[in-house]
A = this chain, B = another copy of it.
């Protein structure tokens, strides 16, 4: 969209613009309500459009809307990991975590409902979307660490940390965003370093990495 373009309710949107408008409306509803409590009618109301229009875009109903919104959120989440390969590693990680925590904060309830599972709309397709983001996060971290062929111990450490970060995010939302995002970010970064140090005791590849991290400012 052109930055200064007017967007009155009656402006004709392209199919892509309309779809994206509806998904934004859905995501903002999911941020405060569990997915199963958001109807297509709610989305129509939030977006200020007619019900038939929403049904035209999502003929598969609530489930289709939810999967599309999830796909769009997953895409946004992947962008959090886009970080140039320059500068100190831990600083890059901190910046990515800042974006991730802002995303978690913005999407609130929808993020929890999805990751905690047990939602009535959870299916193997939604699980696959979430797993794809997890895998992407692990690949990003390993590529920033500059490891060409990560061995199983290093890979497992990174995947465990990602799971722990997810758990921390859910608890953080549950506990009214305490501790403050800045503290949580530093804590998580230090945890990754500590986990890598433990792995380094039994894995030469991780040992080399830790030495590189120590000399990296």
A148 vs B117: C-alpha distance when bound (angstroms) = 31
Q: Are A163 and B166 in contact (CB under 8 A)?
A: yes
Chain B residues positioned under 8 Å from A190 (CB to CB): 198, 201
**Is A197 interfacial (CB-CB < 8 Å)?**
yes
Q: Contacts A159-B167, A175-B152 hold; do A198 and B202 have CB atoms under 8 A apart?
A: no
Which A115-150 residues sit within 8 Å CB-CB of chain B? 116-120, 122-124, 126-128
Question: What size tier do the contact residues of chain A reach?
Answer: 35 or more
Q: Are B120 and A124 in contact (CB under 8 A)?
A: yes
A167 vs B167: C-alpha distance when bound (angstroms) = 11
Q: How far is the CB of A202 from chain B (nearest CB, A)?
A: 7
Which A181-214 residues sit within 8 Å CB-CB of chain B? 183, 187, 190-191, 194-195, 197-199, 201-202
> What is the copy number of this chain in the assembly?
2
- Chain B, residue nearest A134 (CB): B167
Q: How far is the CB of A66 from chain B (nearest CB, A)?
A: 15
Report which residue of A124, A191, A199 has the largest number of chain B beta carbons within 10 angstroms of its beta carbon.
Answer: A191
Chain B residues positioned under 8 Å from A162 (CB to CB): 167
18 contacts between A and B (CB under 8 A): A117-B117, A117-B122, A118-B124, A118-B128, A120-B124, A152-B175, A152-B178, A156-B168, A156-B172, A160-B167, A163-B163, A163-B166, A179-B202, A194-B194, A194-B195, A194-B197, A194-B198, A195-B195
**Is A153 interfacial (CB-CB < 8 Å)?**
yes
